[in-house]
Amino acid sequence: MGTPRYMSPEQIQGEQVGPYTDLYALVTMMYEQLCGRHPYDHPELNNLKEVKGLPAPFRMSWHHMNTEVPPLLELPSLWPHLAPALVKRPFDRAQDARALRDTLKRWLSEHPQDRALLMPVRRPQRFYDPTPSTQGQDAPTPSTRPTTRALSAQLQVSPEVAHWGTLTLKVLIGLIGASLVWRIAGYPSIPIVDPYLTGFMRRVLSLLDLIWVALLGA
């Protein structure tokens, strides 16, 4: 249905959407990337009586419908070209993505000094991260295992899912290694837990054989 952080007013209200809706979301993300903060991530806006105490999605939706976007002070020469795409009324908003693209290309050619502009940018805060971040610093996050954190970053999944996925992968690798060692050792009988473990290992080996035959056939 949409992400409240980037939804246009008409999309929030369930009205007709169109290319102007996508342009609104696109320029909102551009604003966030250019200055390191969402247009409505200002303490004075979040402390308004109308939104104070509301959950983050509802607070953000209210701002999209009622609050004018603060000017992009970091790039004042670019802001007049982006502002038309953030107008509240959809039919008063910029309608053509190609026109916006051409305008941005022209701006880049006319302002070469701003292409290498170094601004004090921080990584945008995660929408549902309850831990506030400070300007110039990344938001502190709970410590996780390095492998879990790397896997979650690559797959775009939560650290918990990545942790259990990593654990499952380790168990599978362990089972495969144990079954291969058991086969090389000549299928020895294992006291106490036999025949349950023996039958289990035979099933693992059979599955490995099927996978190997399938791979060779492919």
For the stretch 134-173, pLDDT in tens is 444 444 444 444 455 554 545 555 677 778 888 888 887 8
At which residue do the structure tokens 């009988």 appear?
A: 189
Check: CB of residue 86 under 8 Å from CB of residue 64.
no
Same domain for 46 and 89, yes or no, is: yes
Report the length, in residues, of the chain. 218
pLDDT (tens digit per residue) in 58-78: 888 898 999 898 888 888 888
Give the Å distances, CA to CA, from 2 to 35, 57, 158.
23, 11, 20
Check: CB of residue 114 under 8 Å from CB of residue 77.
yes
Q: What is the pTM of this model?
A: 0.53
Q: Write b or e for each residue in 107-146: b if 16 or more Cβ atoms lie within 10 A of its Cβ, otherwise e.
A: beeeeeeeeeeeeeeeebbeeeeeeebeeeeeeeeeeeee
Question: Is pLDDT larger for residue 202 or for residue 80?
Answer: 80
Residue 140 forms part of a structural domain: no
Check: CB of residue 30 under 8 Å from CB of residue 85.
no
Domain count, the chain: 2
How high is the pLDDT of residue 7? Answer: 92
Which domain, by its residues, includes 206?
Answer: 146-217
- In percent, how much of the chain has pLDDT > 70? 70
Nearest to 202 by CA among 185, 216, 182: 182
Same domain for 99 and 185, yes or no, is: no
Same domain for 110 and 151, yes or no, is: no
Q: What is the CATH number of the domain that holds 13?
A: 1.10.510.10
Residue 120 forms part of a structural domain: no
**Has residue 23 got a pLDDT over 90?**
yes
Residue 42 forms part of a structural domain: yes
